[in-house]
Amino acid sequence: MDEIAAATSMTAAFAGLVSVIMAVLGLAGVFQIDLAAVGVMILGAAAIFEGAAIVARAYDVVASFDVAGKSVMKTPEVTGITAETITGVAAIALGGLSVLRTSHTVLLPIAVIVLGVGVLFAGAATRRATIKETWSAISATHLIVGVAVVIVGVVGLVGSANPVVLTLAAVLVLGGEMLLSGAAIGGRIIDVLIR
């Protein structure tokens, strides 16, 4: 399972890098709506991959402590990941509708809120999954970034600022967080596998 966790973490890190590049281009004024929508979709996919990495790692942790024969699917770690996966799918759908210019000024901030909630769930699930230092720091980062992104999404939704620019800013922050946390988790797991 560690190999799966490493691969999915590195995939999430790559998706984070791509979304950061898209956000920077969008903030520079190039195809803002399209890049914001596609950036949200990429982050949704990254959330699904990061959730798979945490599920793989949580499965290993739970399996190592499972002496009563309980089902892994009933543990809190897997429940939090399921919620993160659902938020990733929802973000992909909202981003797809925004590409079609279907109320993008409303859908993009909602997608940002959904992604922020997914990051909050990931932080809570990561905190429960293990007590390692790297994972604990990533969990705290997830929580801080999740709250910040939800606030940015709400500000974009109430219409006091340009929702597309706020979405691009949120994509930049979330992409950077995905890049750093995915690389940290993947690197840590690869380091363990090599030893």
Q: How far apart are CA 187 and CA 195, in angstroms?
A: 12
Please give the pLDDT value at position 70.
55
Sign of CA dihedral 145, 35, 53, 113: positive
Neighbours of 148 (CB within 10 A): 17
Which of the pair, 90 or 189, is modelled with greater confidence? Answer: 90
Please, which residues have CB within 8 angstroms of residue 182's CB and are 6 or more apart in sequence? 9, 10, 11, 12, 13, 14, 15, 16, 46, 49, 50, 53
Which of the pair, 191 or 135, is modelled with greater confidence? Answer: 191
Please, which residues have CB within 8 angstroms of residue 11's CB and are 6 or more apart in sequence? 46, 49, 182
Q: Over the stretch 113-131, which tens digit does the pLDDT of each residue have?
A: 999 988 887 766 555 544 4
Q: How far apart are CA 19 and CA 182, in angstroms?
A: 13
Please give the pLDDT value at position 21.
94
Which of the pair, 49 or 187, is modelled with greater confidence? Answer: 49
Is residue 182 over pLDDT 90? no
Nearest CA to 15 among 183, 189, 187, 184?
183
Token reading at 41: 């979709």
Please give the pLDDT value at position 48.
84
Domain boundaries, the chain: 2-194
Are the CB atoms for 50 and 81 separated by under 8 Å? no
- Per the confidence metrics, is the pTM higher than 0.85? no
